[in-house]
Structure formats: structure tokens, C-alpha cells
Structure 1
Amino acid sequence: MKRSSAIRRAVLAAAAVALVVTGCTDRTGGSGGGSGGGGGTPQSPASASAPATGGSASDGSGGSDGKPSSPAPSSSSAAPSSPSSPSSPSSSAEALMKDGDENEQVRELQARLRQLDLFDRAPTGFYGSITGKSVAAFQKRRGLPVTSTVDAATWELLLSLTKEPTADELKPSTTNKLDTPDPRCMTGRVLCISKESRTLAWMIDGKVVSSFDVRFGSENTPTREGEFKVEWKAREWTSTIYHTPMPYSMFFSRGQAVHYSADFAARGYAGASHGCVNVRDRAKLAALFDQVKPGDKVVVHW
């Protein structure tokens, strides 16, 4: 019995250490300039207002029309079409693309809808409610059954009315359009972060002061959703796990933070964090960092 109790205590101690030594960084690992992550046991830097509690690199990331993932082959660049290929759909009414799908075919769908002014933001590769509404608008305009999903008939007609998207159309550097703010963002000082549009809006009493494109964690290391508070800030910080820089970090959930990412600035949505909210506009984030105070609200929502 004594030995069994000792083993249980050892397991619990190991689990506690694992919770402390975790964080977020770019999904490709710690290459120079990649997005960093909090975690570890911070040494209370002079620029921080409070010590970090660490974060989990295994839980938390983002989704909707903006959730990054490993690219899948585009339908336009795939091998010669077959009856099951998206570029040469069968007559089946089965959905080829639907809510929750995430791949390069969805990115192509969004780019083609954008050519018809039916998708008003940068393609993300994730099929969320915004994409569903755009597909429904296309179907209604063209006299197709309005299902908000892409079946063979919808895809075939869209292909015939649009051209193959260019690289710039598939992954433009344009600023993402803000969503309607979550109701929790309408009072007080709030970092209102939308996974649906991949945006961060700095709001005061319901008014948008500034906004940013953002990037979230991967499917395996998602950015947590919910209502939080800015726990502490660090103008200069380096991930204690991945040893990558995290300038202008504003920590809000056990090591997850809003911070500048050189990797995001360089590669855009081709990468992902390990849970943090990456920002690619360094100068703009520096100005925001000076405005945000510990205790300000953070809302991460779809």
C-alpha cells in the first residue's frame, strides 16, 4: 500500500509539472522569428505586471472561417478529374463541401465566390457560417436549391462562372473584415477576438478603436474560447518552452497570449500557433500594447 501511494504521488507531481511547463508557439516549431508562446515558469520580467501561470500546448485553437490547418491539395491543382473529383462532380446531390470542412478546396470555393462579390474577406480554407451564407446567396441568385452546402450542381455552376484563382486570390494580404461584435464585447474595455473572421477588435464601450488580422492555434493546440482578463503583459518575452520571441505579449489564459508573430507576418495563414493569438502588424500592436491594462476583458468567440 505504501508503495502504491508513493507511485500515485509521483504521477500527480509529474502531471503538475506538465501543466506548468507548457505554452504556445508557431506550429512549425521554433525556427527563428516564428510565433512564440508563453508557458514555463516566468521570472517576472520588469515589463510584466504579474507572473505567468503557464499554459497548455495541448488544448485550445481556433476555427470557423479562419481556422488554419495543414493544407490539402487544391482541386484546381489535383490530378486529372474523376467522377469523385470536385472539378468534375458527379450528379449526386451529396455535399462536396459543408460546415466544418477545412481544406484547400474550401479556400478555392471562397476565392471563386469572392470573384462574384459573394465572399467579402480573405479566403481562409475553413467552411463556417460566413461561407455557408455566401454559398446560399449564390444558390439563390442562380435558382439552385438553397442548402448552404456545396453539392455537385452548385460546384459545377460556380466553376463555369469563375476562373481558376491565382495565388494572390487564394492567399491575399488584405485585412480581414470585422464580424458583428459578440454581445460580451459591448461594454467596458475589451479585446474582442473572432475566430469566425480571424480578427481582433480593441473596443471601448461598444466602439471599435482599432482592429487586427489574427491567427490562432492548430487543431491539436487550439486557442481557448470564452471570457478572460488580461493577466499580465510583457513588452519583450521569449517562450520558455520553444525559445522563440513573443513581443508585446498580453497573457489572458494560462500561458496563451495575444502577441506579435514574425512567422505570421511572413507566412500568413500557412502556419498556426500552439494556442496564442498571433498578430502580424507589429507597429499597430505596439500602440495597442500601451493602451491595454491588466484586468481588461478578453473575449474569444466564433
Structure 2
Amino acid sequence: MRTKDMRRSVAALAALTMAGACTAQGIEVHGGQRQPVRVDVTGTPSGTASAPASGGPKQDDGDSDGSDGSGDDKGTRETAPTNPPPTPTPPPAPTPAPVLWSQGDEGLDVRELQARLRQVAWLFAGPTGTYDELTVRAVKGFQGKRGLPRTGKTDSVTWARLLNMTREPGKWDLYAYGGQPAASPDPRCLTGRVLCISKTSRTLRWMVDGRTLTTVEVRFGSEYTPTREGVFSVYFKSRDHWSTLYDTPMPYAMFFSGGQAVHYSSDFAARGYYGASHGCVNVRDEAAIAQLFAQVRNGDKVVVYW
């Protein structure tokens, strides 16, 4: 190589060596002039890209699903799904109490129900032994007063409450308005034409030769004015009789013993057995006694017995 060419090569090599040294010290050579270069703490010149060293810490670019535990993941962190609280099951509806009696039923049990309703002043008629509209109203009133469903039907709950508030009705309570079967006729009633009157069943049979033609309910005198017992005969009939002794009407009167007679009584029709006569035999069915009055003759037998 020629000496001149060797000098150029040495000079070029020296320039490259100096450029590298200056760059390391923050000096960059451009066109033979040194320029300062800003160097960051990592030694990488500003404005130049530098890939992270292999195995170095990964920088968070905002798209990571990880979290440093500071709670600044801005909702990007997924949470485990949770089950919603179970919907409470409503309690089953209470089972209605069984119905014992309702409108249209008949019998002794209904009669007792009516007698007990009378004791607590929810019923003022009867007992009749028939679960009628008046009984329905009385039961509804009793139920409503005690916070029970106002059905008008007597269920086991209503009946238990009524039992706790009342006493057991007696025979006359149960048949205060009649309905008791007629007693068997007295043997003295089996012949001829007879008004056969039983104090036990409080009934009057109109009998001809042992055959019953009519049966009506009757009421008697009180313990202070009792109806006489025995065998009598009709001695006087008065269609529109008026009692001068008690100043009261006695229609369809058929006298059999002194001032005692079989006759219609409006008081008996209104009050039932909660009243009493002054010794007469009261009949409350006006239509029935009107027919009876037309059939009975003076001299017909009257038998009053227990």
C-alpha cells in the first residue's frame, strides 16, 4: 500500500475511534463537530427505541389483565360469579277449617247450634232445627265479632268458640220453638174423638178412633198457673173470645176445664216457649187451629197427660 493511502486509513480509523469515545461521553459527532446527547438513566439516548433486555421486568402497557393489588385495574379485573340469594318461598295457605253445618242442613245438631246462638244474643228465633237464612246471618255476626272469616257456615273453629262461650242447652232450650216429635198417644186417646195433649212432647194430636188427623205444637201454664191434667170434654166453643180475667184475646177457644181452654196465642207465636199461659193450652199455628176449631164439637174428649 502506498504511504498516502495508509495515512488516510489511519486518519479514518482514528476518527471512528474518537466518535465512539465521544458518544459514550454524551458527545455525538456530526460533520466533524461534537454535539451533546441527552442520556437517560439507563444509558439509552433520548428519542431512540430500546427493547427490554431479555428476562427483564415487563412494563405494563395498560392492556394487561394483571393487577398489582392496588385496586387501580379500573374494572378490568374479572371477579368470580356469585349466585343470587334464593327467593323466599311463601308459606302455604292455611287449610280451611272443616265445615260442620251450612244452610239447608237439618237436625238436632243444628237445633243445638241455634240454641247456643240464642244464649249469646245472635239469634232470636227458633231453635227450629233447620239451618235457614236467619241462622246464616247469626253465624256471620258471631264470626265477624271474633275476627273469623264471615262465611255464615259453621266450621270447627266457629263451633269451638261458641262451645267455650255457652252452656249445654236443655230440652226446653232445644225445643223452645217446637219441633219435638209427638209422644205416643195415651191409651185413653185411642177411642172416640179426642184432643190428645202431651205435656212431655208439648204436642196436641187430634185423633178420631185411634187415627191421628192433625198434630200441632202447644204451650202450657207456668208453675204458678199450671194446666190441669186428666180426662175432660169440650163444653164451650168461642171463635173470638176475650178473657175478662186477664184482659187478653183467646181466639178459637175450646173450653174443657173451668176457664182453661185450647186456643190460639199470638204471644206463643212470637215468643215460643220463652213464655207461658195462665193455664190454657196455647196453639201458635193459627191456620191449623182454625181448621181444628171447625172440626171439634162440644162433648169431644180432652186428655191431658205427661
For the aligned pair, the TM-score class normalised by the smaller chain equals 0.3 to 0.5
| TM-score between the two structures when normalised by the length of structure 1 | 0.45
Q: Which has the higher contact order (CA 8 A, sep 6+)?
A: 1
| TM-score between the two structures when normalised by the length of structure 2 | 0.45
Which protein is richer in strand relative to its size? 2
In terms of Rg, which structure is larger? 2
